[in-house]
Structure 1
């Protein structure tokens, strides 16, 4: 994991880099040159207007947005001892940008072979990229609203919830949301400029696979989209601060002060149970044993703890969803217990003392111990599903390019993408562990995979109908 690649300093040689500084001056020069070349080539038209809007958005980003996302650079101090600020270049965003640029270059390279103007591909890219990012983020926010964003809205207000929803630097872009948003934007562009629909769809299909192959590497650098437990040689362990580590910590998969909390399968709606105790730890010596049910930690009842996460809304009348609702309820009690344990660790660290814990159990025992053990330096071994997804997309790219010479009708390349990707995505979701199966045991991505696969079947039938234009061989 490598969440932050570098920090770009706020000033260069004492001159501001962002805001109304060096980068703004460079943007102004590039914008003037680009607009002059655009107008000299084709005059003032819709394409030139689109370029102007894009440059204006970029200028607003440099002048007003970037100065407000500066952070303190860790371990760096100014000559006067004060903090030094800089712009963090995140691994996730960098790989996302690299994926977009690579996909665009591939599309431009293939455009002439499809009878399209490569310059038009650039404008098409903006119509796809921006709606794609919005769709990907909106899909994520809707999916995780009950867990992450709803509580922020209630506790801190609309402004904080909006800021959390807009913070994509920490991850949180769903591929299927990007696909839906991007296709809607691309369809609007095709209609607006009268481009051949299926030729254009075939053009962008391999680019989508390439962008996904590179973008998933960003997920690995960020530590999101992680898999379940793995004992294979290529298993990975993510460090503190990563979504994978925090997920394991929150769900009781990591020991805290010598104990691990979990759900009791025999009492799914009851209090959390001690899943395991570290051998030789102060907790074990105090008499804490696996199987004990924890009612209170340091005098605070788990049942009365304010749980910030909310259960997902389950479909009424569905037996498997009802069972899932019970497991979610138990998970909330586990989270509450973990939160109380972490609070004890935080208070002890603040006071510079070992953590002191007292557990009251359902079995009628009150157990106390003092523990100075820190949290694990790494999480439990997991499947690197981000790398699986990247490799899967790379293979899909090769399959699409290999199929292209044998293509008989326009649209078949795009249809092949919609056929193969849902199958592989559905399979990878089985070993992913970052989201629950909220729909009769299926994740939302698996549900969407089934829907897209069904649509792909209909699309194949449509493309094979008599009268559909045959594919023109590449020049």
Structure 2
């Protein structure tokens, strides 16, 4: 368990000193250089476009992100000059779960570029898909959690009401936990459809490109679950059983349910279901990536994912100990949703089998390099 990787100290951002003979440069100065680099990159790309003179624009998404991140650091300067930090400020925590989620999206976006080009889609689509899937996925995952746990999240002391500021704070307080995978999947899927409409690209083709990357991102995310302590397994007597320390959410949950004595220094042995899930996601990522170049038509990889993920997830749920059940069905929420996803996968597979294939009718995007721009890609 490692919920907090490190703490950022903005009060030391301007430090430029020597420590044990090694120069220590403030983070703000590094961000300033980052902003300069981003600005130069954008300028050079525009100069290259002007020299080429063919009317095409170089994809500048990555350079713009670099420049914006550096600019944000510059704009934060007045906050720290004014001495707004309290004297007992301990630093801004960087959570392991969030870092792994970010790494998952980054790895998924990077590995998806090759499939994107092979499908005849522009590189810029990958940046849009990654960014908006990240934003909508986090939003959907948080919304799902708030719907499920609204009574606990928004509980107010007896005889009092929750103020607006406190309610907003609890809504966005991710440090208290609260991201549910299924909500994130729905949010990311809606973002994918919106981005495809913007770029005039077939959503099925884009989904085929994204599916292996989604599983790869899930593999990273489950490592984040282990670091945070959520999604724990049931009792395990095997040599690889893991124990969570006192004070973590796993320990507190088991004590609260009466499964563990409050005097215990740690939990009893539990299945490392987070690692099981991560390994499962890696396998599914490899399988869908290998199937992608062999798919008979657009949508086949998506159908495959919908058919193989629910049974794998349902099997892993048997070893989970965090979910107590869903609506007295004897199934967990993930298993119940898995039935729906499997049915959708079966319907999609049947439709792909019996419906006409537009790719064979000449309406698919060309396999050569596609022009840049959201409105210039054939679907």
Q: Give the TM-score normalised by structure 2.
A: 0.79
- Count of aligned positions: 340
Q: For the residues of structure 2 that align with 1:119 and 1:37, how far apart are their CA atoms?
A: 18
- Deviation string 1:357-400 (CA, Å, 9 cap, x unpaired) is xxxxxxxxxxxxxxxxxx32211221111111101101111211
Q: For the residues of structure 2 that align with 1:188 and 1:46, how far apart are their CA atoms?
A: 23
Q: For the residues of structure 1 that align with 2:168 and 2:58, how far apart are their CA atoms?
A: 33
- SS of residue matched to 2:90: strand
1:29 and 2:33 matched: no
Structure number with the bigger relative contact order (C-alpha 8 A, sep ≥ 6) is 2
Instruction: Report what 1:243 is aligned to.
Output: 249
Partner of residue 445 from structure 1, selected from 329, 334, 337: 334
Give 1:129 shift.
Answer: 1.3
Instruction: Give RMSD over aligned pairs.
Output: 3.3
- SS of residue matched to 2:154: helix
Q: For the residues of structure 1 that align with 2:63 and 2:354, how far apart are their CA atoms?
A: 39
Instruction: Report what 1:8 is aligned to.
Output: 8
- SS of residue matched to 1:89: strand
Q: For the residues of structure 2 that align with 1:397 and 1:49, how far apart are their CA atoms?
A: 26
Distance 1:405 1:110, change over 3 A: closer
Distance 1:227 1:49, change over 3 A: closer
Confirm or deny: 8 A CA contact 2:233 2:321 kept in the other structure: yes
Distance 1:160 1:437, change over 3 A: same
Partner of residue 466 from structure 1, selected from 355, 358, 365: 355
Distance 1:447 1:155, change over 3 A: farther
Query: How is 1:85-234 mapped onto 2 (pairs within 5 angstroms)?
Result: 85-146=90-151, 148-152=152-156, 156-234=162-240
Q: For the residues of structure 2 that align with 1:104 and 1:394, how far apart are their CA atoms?
A: 15
Instruction: Report what 2:303 is aligned to.
Output: 415
Query: How is 1:344-355 mapped onto 2 (pairs within 5 angstroms)?
Result: none
Query: How is 1:300-449 mapped onto 2 (pairs within 5 angstroms)?
Result: 375-439=263-327, 440-449=329-338
Q: For the residues of structure 2 that align with 1:13 and 1:57, how far apart are their CA atoms?
A: 17
Q: For the residues of structure 1 that align with 2:133 and 2:115, how far apart are their CA atoms?
A: 17
Query: How is 1:36-115 mapped onto 2 (pairs within 5 angstroms)?
Result: 36-37=43-44, 39-40=46-47, 56=68, 59-60=71-72, 63=75, 83=88, 85-115=90-120
Give 1:187 shift.
Answer: 0.6
- Deviation string 1:217-243 (CA, Å, 9 cap, x unpaired) is 010011111112222221111012321
Give 1:175 shift.
Answer: 1.6
Distance 1:131 1:243, change over 3 A: same
Confirm or deny: 8 A CA contact 1:92 1:170 kept in the other structure: no
Structure whose residues are more often helix by fraction: 2
Give 1:419 shift.
Answer: 1.4
Structure whose residues are more often strand by fraction: 1
Q: For the residues of structure 2 that align with 1:193 and 1:205, how far apart are their CA atoms?
A: 19
Q: For the residues of structure 1 that align with 2:148 and 2:59, how far apart are their CA atoms?
A: 36
Greater Rg by CA = 1
Q: Give the TM-score normalised by structure 1.
A: 0.64
Distance 1:169 1:103, change over 3 A: farther
Q: For the residues of structure 2 that align with 1:430 and 1:123, how far apart are their CA atoms?
A: 37
Which is further off, 417-426 or 42-51? Answer: 42-51
- Deviation string 1:23-79 (CA, Å, 9 cap, x unpaired) is 5524532442344355446689897699868965885588569x79xxxxxxxxxxx
Which structure 1 residue ranges, 5 or more long, are not aligned? 69-81, 257-374
Query: How is 1:248-259 mapped onto 2 (pairs within 5 angstroms)?
Result: 248-256=254-262
- SS of residue matched to 1:382: coil
Distance 1:168 1:474, change over 3 A: farther
Give 1:152 shift.
Answer: 4.6
Q: For the residues of structure 2 that align with 1:207 and 1:62, how far apart are their CA atoms?
A: 33
Confirm or deny: 8 A CA contact 1:224 1:242 kept in the other structure: no
Distance 1:452 1:126, change over 3 A: same
- Deviation string 1:214-268 (CA, Å, 9 cap, x unpaired) is 1110100111111122222211110123211110121122223xxxxxxxxxxxx
Confirm or deny: 8 A CA contact 1:190 1:197 kept in the other structure: yes
Distance 1:62 1:186, change over 3 A: farther
